Amino acid sequence: MAIGVSTPRLENREKVTGRILYTINLELPGMLHARVLRSPIAHGRVRRIDADRAEALPGVRCVLTRDDLRRGDIDPYFGPVIRDQPILAIDKVRYAGDAVAAVAADTEQIAEEALRLIDVEYEELTPLLDPLDATRESAPLIHESLHPAEVGYADIKSMHIASGRRNSAGHFKLRRGDVEAGFRAAAVVVEDEYYVPAVQHAALEPHAVLAQVHADGRIEVWSCTQNPSVVREQLASVFRTPLSLVRVVAPYVGGGYGAKTYAKLEPLAVALARKAERPVRLIASREDVFYIVARHAVRTRLKTGVAADGRLVARQAELFFDKGAYADIGPRTSKNGGYSSGGPYLIPNLRLDSYAIYTNKTPGGAYRGFGVPQVCWAYEQQMDQIAERLGVDPLELRLRNVLGEGDAFATGEILHAVPIREALLRAAEAIRWSEPPAAASHRARGKGLACMIKSTMTPTVSSATVKMEEDGSATVLTGTVEIGQGSDTVLAQMAADVLAVPVGRIHVVHSDTAVTPYDQSTSSSRSTFSMGNAVRQAAGEVRDQLVALAAHQLEIAPQDVALADGYAFPKGAPARRVAYAQIFRGHFGMGVGSLMGRGLFKTDGGLDPETGQGKASAFWFSGAGACEVEVDTETGAVTVLKYVGVVNAGKVINPLLAKGQIEGSIVCALGHTFFEEMVYREGALVNPNFMDYRLPTAYETPRELEVILLEDGHRDGPYGAIGVGEPAVAPVAPAVANALARATGVRILDLPITPEKVLAGLRERPLAGTGREGRR
Amino acid sequence: MAIGVSTPRLENREKVTGRILYTINLELPGMLHARVLRSPIAHGRVRRIDADRAEALPGVRCVLTRDDLRRGDIDPYFGPVIRDQPILAIDKVRYAGDAVAAVAADTEQIAEEALRLIDVEYEELTPLLDPLDATRESAPLIHESLHPAEVGYADIKSMHIASGRRNSAGHFKLRRGDVEAGFRAAAVVVEDEYYVPAVQHAALEPHAVLAQVHADGRIEVWSCTQNPSVVREQLASVFRTPLSLVRVVAPYVGGGYGAKTYAKLEPLAVALARKAERPVRLIASREDVFYIVARHAVRTRLKTGVAADGRLVARQAELFFDKGAYADIGPRTSKNGGYSSGGPYLIPNLRLDSYAIYTNKTPGGAYRGFGVPQVCWAYEQQMDQIAERLGVDPLELRLRNVLGEGDAFATGEILHAVPIREALLRAAEAIRWSEPPAAASHRARGKGLACMIKSTMTPTVSSATVKMEEDGSATVLTGTVEIGQGSDTVLAQMAADVLAVPVGRIHVVHSDTAVTPYDQSTSSSRSTFSMGNAVRQAAGEVRDQLVALAAHQLEIAPQDVALADGYAFPKGAPARRVAYAQIFRGHFGMGVGSLMGRGLFKTDGGLDPETGQGKASAFWFSGAGACEVEVDTETGAVTVLKYVGVVNAGKVINPLLAKGQIEGSIVCALGHTFFEEMVYREGALVNPNFMDYRLPTAYETPRELEVILLEDGHRDGPYGAIGVGEPAVAPVAPAVANALARATGVRILDLPITPEKVLAGLRERPLAGTGREGRR
């Protein structure tokens, strides 16, 4: 049995010996190196670009500017929802860091030097740095016109991009029940505003692309992308090439967390390779990465009405996603944040509005949790604020309202396999919720908890092929990207289980659009569920063929054939076993050949654009977190003594990998909780590097970090499994904030929770057992 | 309609711009360069190898010797039929050129220099340079023991490798009727001995391998091989690794003609990469190539009994294939030559023996025609000798005996689609057979003809996958190697036809064992037939799915759906058409996804080892050639004034490519006819380079070169097609020899036909209209 076993990652040895190849390691004969010139100003018209001196520099092979993009032979704009992002600035620059020109040269150093020889003349425009400013009638338009993407995302196209607000890149609305009536009926109404700043994904591997355009126009791209199929569609659209002639390969990817979804540097690298008629490798510097994509800053206005018995009766939410300069997948992120802002609670009356508003900053894109951590930061603090107002225990308040099996979600759909109640109880138990924290001089302690619910990408498509060789070993062809999450291993485990061979005899070929069948994306924690189903189905097709051949050879009925460990035998008579290799020999002329199986998994869904009612998700992630914190009341420093993350996995395919993902989620979220923030001054990002932008280290990891995996199986999941990559992120910051408030009375509503903010809060109010109201 | 159209090769632009990548162009990060030390002696024991000085040379990263191969962790012997070839010499060297040691270094120059620092001490043994010497009882054994290969070729394993003769590597025998009775009943018996020397394949691209062994033991190899699947099996066997963990990729290959079938340098390159823990690229020098493989020299003893009316009644043949030092695929080549030595004629009584005998020379392997050109050289001259003896026209004699539809071949199987009679008549007509050649002073002219029949690899397996993308473009995944023959184009034409899309929307992914399903080999002119069937089937599966989805969308029955040019519509109502992309959108959640189709084509066959009766071939190649030559009776120079090659294609998929292949075959065979020969002196090859080993140039190409393609369709062929790569080769040399004999009376029985041999023949007999007996 290969399922439920902590199989070591298949690529372990390759990784620890340093021999594995990432995109940045790839080389092609005659390859050039590229660098990108970025705008120093946040908003302006491009008056003139003079690249003559750069082109004359020895070793420079190609300088690309807007002149190369306006010839009509390509469409220079791309974007998965709105085609608003030019490969290089054409008429305007829209943020400090916007790409203006690029150079391909014999070395990266020459390319870098050439950038300094490009003269660009700008006419500065007023930069819009806050969504609320950007929606004002007097604000300039960042995009004068918008065009929807040609491919995919039909559900987004039906959304109102135009919200009636200026500089809108999306407006999701959900209407359920009668919110005004709900508020009127409520005993208590709590209202507040919460803020989460833009943060970086900080994958160790920067964005990197190796592009080649063949003499016949065929495009080949190696990229550390999370969704090669979508990038292929985007490149096909930009370069007007049939999909079959665009190949996108994702080698092993060194982390993504959403930053590597949808086209980023790929169109630029291809445009350079096309002009240079040479392969071009473009590796982002760390500073570049800060300009490529960020997690959306979100401002959430949340108002909740509660009955005297603690039941939530109404909620109104207004979310402002700071889109940055280009839409990227933001309209969909803000939609996801929108319908999730009711939280994992039964609230009969909802009025949720989520706006994505263009600003002159680094574009916001997908990030682990896809809009949910930002709204969870709001709704889970508000739950504690309500509990405080009502004088009930925060756990008790949650248990009174939490959604469960068979309940309707905000979108109206019926939930299944969402053990949030159990998650809360397990988290509370692990943190000894009912026991008061130990007190110490100048060291206030408190416990806090939070829970969450999240959708997955819906509708969605995954497909896979399985090929069994004549020695019974097998290859899985999957579009899933091995991004460090262990997907190769988990999918191999499933194939091994179905085919009844050891995992070591399975090889996984991942994410090469020329050869792996379609997969939508390695994101949204969807691979174990969607691709797992596709792989099981594909392996099942091979198994069926194998069983039929074995039945023929054993002269028994197919239903009487058993498979185990590379052998087929009559059920109950393992001594009569025949090796798979022998079955192949019996079938194929010379004992050689392969058996092929196909798998396709797809889900339907969609929401009504006026009411947000319908089906948002094929399944739901859920989980909870709880922690105990210690606050140094002299410095404001907050230490997490213990953190417990509880996640429903449906079924744990590989305990080691699942726990690793959740531990990673928690540590990642502690960074957001305590210090990560992209800081802008006068439109310019001031900390685009890992000296000024801090990441959590082992030092900030709680000494006690406990992971609890629930196995409330989903009826559509492979072995009941869903995914575990994201649900542990969202509860971390609100659980810590709730613990801080319970320890000190200080409620921080805007992330990160810095010692300065804590100290300021402590100065406003003397040390108290519980906080009452927030500080912003 | 994509079939029967001269679609330009898909890779044309890549090739003519020089941007295409062959194996020799590939690079991997950290790649080392390798060179091979080869034995200077033809036969000897290896006493001592001292590599210390080589290992100490700066820049040398790995020296590989027998010490690395005898540790028991790998099986150092390989071979597709007999595991007789060590990766490097272990106990003995068996020919001058046998690989003894190899070096991987930072540059090829350093590796070359290091070779000179390796000291090897040999104990010389008597070299065996002729098969007849090697079979003597007193001859030393070249191989003390033999082990059959583990994979494939079950039909060969059942052959008598041991023929009762010493140094045997194979003995094929065919027994049909009563040969002695046949000879007794014959009016005329003609007997002679014919010889064809070893020649080189002379592919422009030398053998090249780029090998990488991952930290987890996984093997990746890029090689200019013709049969990656078989090389994968051989590597899996040598390195004891599951097939799924051995990946063999064949990039575009610069010609093979059989030289690149089965493992050649691949095991050595992998062994180097494994020891060096770095990628290793091994490119053979032109001299190396002469030591890797050759076309077998063959001596044929042929005795034919003929009735007074010209009907052939009995034949006895003894073939001696000069195997060289290792078996390679020779036992199968000699088997093919064996059952083909009856020729394309109805002969009721046959006794055919074909021996493969080890000698101390470059191993013989597959070469265009696979043993048939050597025996055709014999039997087609003997036909003219018989005609002369009987005083009948050589064409007439052939037409009286030639096999046709429904006739039994020597193996007993019934022939189909073998229009040899038509081929002879078309060739004769084109050469104006009935008109006597013009005479000129000192310039004798004559016309000659020859015909042939040849089997294809049987049993055999080909499989393919077709993947249609959401814009209706499609990818064909095929194990067929694009070796210059145009297979990508022809397979794309078939897929385009089935899918009803333009050929330009088809991309072909070829020959990567990790992703392309099993294909046995790109050889034996089998791809159009076998892989064509597999591709059509795979495309058909996609078409069926597409039609079903279109029927659903159009609300009609599937059988009422028509497809054309990327659209589906109700038959007779093209105005109601829907684009494939629209059909995808209707089916997949977000309009994205791929449709997969699988194709598997396999044939059965096999011959009884005692009688050679059974089924030798899934289909039969046939053709004829005719020429007019002019002989300078003062210099002995023979000029081919006109050559006509006739080949049955079954159905011509791409006229341009088919004609190109046949023209290439003819020019190639003219090289063998007039000057190609590997010359040995005292066991050493004296002309291992293109200065001393001449190849035909445009100068030797006949001014009139006519290609006639017949379309006698095969019931099992895709559109009736078979293959055209080989059948034009075999008739060339005997047709020229027959023309020479008819012009001068000089009959040359041993190739090549040099001016010296012609002059010597002319001196023996004065100029005459027809020759009577041969000269050897």
Looking at chain A, which residue has its C-alpha nearest residue B459?
A589
Report the distance separating Cα A80 and Cα A330, nearest Å. Answer: 9
- pLDDT reading at A158 higher than 60: no
Task: For residue A602, give the nearest of B17, B214, B593 by CB distance.
Answer: B593
Q: Within 10 Å of residue A604's Cβ, how many Cβ atoms?
A: 11
Report the distance separating Cα B425 and Cα B423, nearest Å. Answer: 5
Task: State the pTM of this model.
Answer: 0.95
When pLDDT is cut at 50, 70 and 90, the band that residue B754 belongs to is very high
Q: What is the pLDDT of residue B158?
A: 43
What stretch of H or E contains A646?
A: strand A638-648
B588-607 residues touching A, CB cutoff 8 A = 588-594, 596, 598, 600, 602-605
Q: What is the pLDDT of residue B156?
A: 47
Q: What is the pLDDT of residue A278?
A: 96
When pLDDT is cut at 50, 70 and 90, the band that residue B97 belongs to is very high
Q: Which residues pair with A171 in a beta bridge?
A: A160, A355
What's the first-to-final CA gap in chain B, in angstroms?
54
What stretch of H or E contains B320?
A: strand B312-324
**Mean pLDDT on A11-18:** 93
Going by C-alpha positions, the residue among B721, B484, B485, B726 that lies closest to residue B4 is B721
**Mean pLDDT on A187-207:** 97
Report the distance separating Cα B322 and Cα A544, nearest Å. Answer: 48
When pLDDT is cut at 50, 70 and 90, the band that residue A774 belongs to is very low
- pLDDT reading at A147 higher than 90: no
**Mean pLDDT on A292-297:** 98
- pLDDT reading at B153 higher than 60: no
Q: What is the pLDDT of residue B768?
A: 46
Q: What is the pLDDT of residue B765?
A: 73
Report the distance separating Cα B168 and Cα A657, nearest Å. Answer: 57
3-state secondary structure of A233: helix
Residue with tokens 């008056």: A47
Going by C-alpha positions, the residue among B525, B430, B520 that lies closest to residue B728 is B525
3-state secondary structure of A494: helix
Report the distance separating Cα B642 and Cα B430, nearest Å. Answer: 10
Q: What is the pLDDT of residue B157?
A: 46
Task: For residue B509, give the nearest of A28, A473, A514 by CB distance.
Answer: A514
Report the distance separating Cα B590 and Cα A524, nearest Å. Answer: 16
Q: What is the pLDDT of residue A1?
A: 74
A32-38/A312-324 β-pairing: unpaired
Q: What is the pLDDT of residue A766?
A: 56
pLDDT tens by residue, A200-259: 999 999 999 999 999 999 999 999 999 999 999 999 999 999 999 999 999 999 999 999
- pLDDT reading at B773 higher than 70: no
- pLDDT reading at B770 higher than 70: no
- A638 contacts A700 by C-beta, under 8 angstroms: no
DSSP code of A675? T
- How would you write A75-129 as a 3-class SS string? CCEECCCECCEECCCCCEECCCCCEEEEEEECCHHHHHHHHCCCEEEEEECCCCC
Cis bond before residue B459 (omega within 30° of 0): yes
pLDDT tens by residue, B324-342: 999 999 999 999 999 999 9
Tell me the pLDDT of chain A averaged across its residues. Answer: 94
What's the first-to-final CA gap in chain A, in angstroms?
53
Q: At A596, list the tokens.
A: 């092929």
- pLDDT reading at A65 higher than 50: yes
Q: What is the pLDDT of residue B633?
A: 92
A201-230 residues touching B, CB cutoff 8 A = 214-216, 218, 229-230
Q: What is the pLDDT of residue B36?
A: 98
How far is residue A567 CA from its own chain's centroid? 41
How far is residue A448 CA from its own chain's centroid? 26
Q: For chain A, what percent of residues have pLDDT higher than 70?
A: 96
Q: At B706, list the tokens.
A: 């006519």
ipTM associated with this complex: 0.93
Q: Which residues pair with A637 in a beta bridge?
A: none
**Mean pLDDT on A509-517:** 95
B458-477 residues touching A, CB cutoff 8 A = 458-461, 463, 465, 467, 469-471, 473-475, 477
**Mean pLDDT on B433-443:** 85
Task: For residue A514, give the nearest of B26, B29, B475 by CB distance.
Answer: B475
3-state secondary structure of A302: strand
Cis bond before residue B752 (omega within 30° of 0): yes
pLDDT tens by residue, A320-332: 999 999 999 999 9
Helices (H), B277-371: 286-292, 330-340
A484-543 residues touching B, CB cutoff 8 A = 504-507, 509, 512, 514-518, 520
DSSP code of A680? E
Q: Within 10 Å of residue A573's Cβ, how many Cβ atoms?
A: 12
B23-62 residues touching A, CB cutoff 8 A = 25-29
For A131, A136, A703, B398, B527, the CA distances from B371, given in Å and listed in that order, are: 79, 85, 75, 21, 19
- pLDDT reading at A696 higher than 70: yes
> Contact B214/A14, CB-based, under 8 Å?
yes
Q: What is the pLDDT of residue A688?
A: 98
pLDDT tens by residue, B273-288: 999 999 999 999 999 9
- B52 contact partners, CB below 8 Å, separation of at least 6: none
Q: Which residues in chain B touch residue A515, judged by CB atoms under 8 angstroms apart?
A: 475, 477, 509, 512, 515-516
What stretch of H or E contains A252?
A: none
What stretch of H or E contains B266?
A: helix B266-276
DSSP code of A569? E
- pLDDT reading at B152 higher than 60: no
Q: At A241, list the tokens.
A: 């090439």
pLDDT tens by residue, A542-595: 999 999 999 999 999 999 999 999 999 999 999 999 999 999 988 886 768 899
Q: Which has the higher per-residue pLDDT, A528 or A146?
A: A528
Residue with tokens 């060590």: B86
- A45 contacts A125 by C-beta, under 8 angstroms: yes
**Mean pLDDT on B389-412:** 98
Identify residue A617 by its one-letter amino acid code.
S
**Mean pLDDT on B418-432:** 98
> Contact B244/A473, CB-based, under 8 Å?
yes
Going by C-alpha positions, the residue among A120, A103, A110, A107 that lies closest to residue A35 is A103
B645-674 residues touching A, CB cutoff 8 A = none
Q: What is the pLDDT of residue A230?
A: 95
> Contact A596/B229, CB-based, under 8 Å?
no
Q: Which residues in chain A touch residue B596, judged by CB atoms under 8 angstroms apart?
A: 463, 465, 517, 598, 600
Q: Which residues in chain B touch residue A473, judged by CB atoms under 8 angstroms apart?
A: 242-245
Looking at chain A, which residue has its C-alpha nearest residue B587?
A602
Q: Within 10 Å of residue A204's Cβ, how many Cβ atoms?
A: 8
DSSP string, B362-391: SPEE--TTTTHHHHHHHHHHHHHHHHHHHT
- Give the orientation angle of helix B266-276 with respect to helix B228-239, to 10 degrees: 50
> Contact A588/B229, CB-based, under 8 Å?
no
